[in-house]
Structure 1
Amino acid sequence: MAPLLVAGLGAGALVLLHLRDPHEEGSYGICPVYALTGWYCPGCGGLRAMHNLTEGRLIDSLHSNILALPLVLAFALWVGDWTIRAWRGRTMRLPSIGLSTAWAVPALFVVYSVLRNTPWGTWLTPV
């Protein structure tokens, strides 16, 4: 039951993002990190990226936030695995990750955040 609830919440969020365009200024507020520092955080452009995905505009989605698509795919795989395990009567387990992955993912977010705020990373800034 819980996996279906989580999947339903994810689908509901996608429907909301499809119906209410985050490209319109002020529709979802402003990123607090950007408001306080003027820097783009790793999540900046994520709502626009998801909106573009719901409209089938993959390239526009990648221009808004290049990390959004891989994160959504990982979430979908995780919920799918959780659903299958629940259906078969197995307990839910968190995916096991190695120590190198545990360090690499936050490092990726830090490098991505710094790079998108430099003159060389302007192609990573949200559109």
Structure 2
Amino acid sequence: MAGGLARRLAAPLGTVTALAAAFAAVGAVDPNEAGHYPVCPLLHLTGIYCPACGGLRSAHAVALGDLGAALTANAVAVAAYAAVAAFCARWLVRAARGRPTAGPRPRPAHWWALGGLLLVFTAVRNLPFGAGLVP
């Protein structure tokens, strides 16, 4: 029975371990210091902030436990981190209980809504009145 539990937990625990290692690495190497990470090509070439700009800085702040700085760097990325954490927790619990781990599949309307949200976020953060969303 223990072998079955270990087999069921292998994928979710491996994923959580990889995510924790990624956050630890970003937490250890400050993206606010130049030269550690590549620059955003869209920002570099056009001066436009993409929806992911500030994502590494927000991950760094989350890794250090500074939620305010993380939200300032990129609020959408922080929401995505929370969603991924909730998904991983649900996956881990369902796998431990031996329940099916596949949840409901997003419908096309969900993907369109997410794309629209990211488009609006990108547009607003690049307009003068959206300066508070700039990393």
TM-score (norm 1): 0.90
Matches within 5 A, 1:76-95: 76-95=85-104
Structure 1, unaligned stretches of length 5 or more? none
Quick check: 89-98 or 59-68, which moved more? 89-98
Look up the match of 1:124: 133
Look up the match of 1:65: 74
**Take 2:117 and 2:35, find their aligned partners in 1: how far apart are those partners?**
29
Quick check: 11-20 or 84-93, which moved more? 84-93
Counterpart code for 1:19: A
Counterpart code for 1:29: P
**Take 2:31 and 2:17, find their aligned partners in 1: how far apart are those partners?**
21
Report the structure, 1 or 2, having the larger helix content.
Answer: 2
Matches within 5 A, 1:1-127: 1-126=10-135
Tell me the SS of whatever aligns to 1:67. Answer: helix
RMSD: 1.5
TM-score (norm 2): 0.85
Name the count of aligned residue pairs: 126
Rg (Cα) greater in structure: 2
